[in-house]
Amino acid sequence: MTTFTLSWGDRPIALEAEDGRTFLRLGANLRVDVTDASLDQLDRLADVAADLAARQRDRYRAAEVADQVAAEGGHRFVGVPFQRGPVAA
């Protein structure tokens, strides 16, 4: 199995229809054919998207708490904590 990594940030997410087929558009570079997807698979996709949104909310809340604690201590931190993964040489 091949894994593709795509970072689309706040680029559009939309449904597209073309020649009787239905696609899920993620940003400018990824289009997924969902024409033959079962209702179970589409429900699972919705569940995964909801889980992803919940994780992101948790990250934002954690960053806000860190900012508040730092501000109380007289420090200022701007941004969301980020841990880098391995980098190719």
Question: Rg for the chain (alpha carbons), in Å?
Answer: 19
Q: How confident is the model at residue 81 (pLDDT cuts 50, 70, 90)?
A: low
**Alpha-helical runs (H) found in the chain:** 39-72
- The residue type of 43 is D
Q: How confident is the model at residue 82 (pLDDT cuts 50, 70, 90)?
A: low
Phi, psi of 48 (to 5 degrees): -65, -40
DSSP state letter for 82: -
Give 58-75 pLDDT, tens digit per residue. 888 887 776 676 666 666
Q: Ranked by mean pLDDT, which of 13-17, 28-32, 61-65, 76-80 comes out on top?
A: 13-17
Residue ranges per structural domain of the chain: 13-72
What is the pLDDT at residue 66?
Answer: 66
pTM value is 0.60
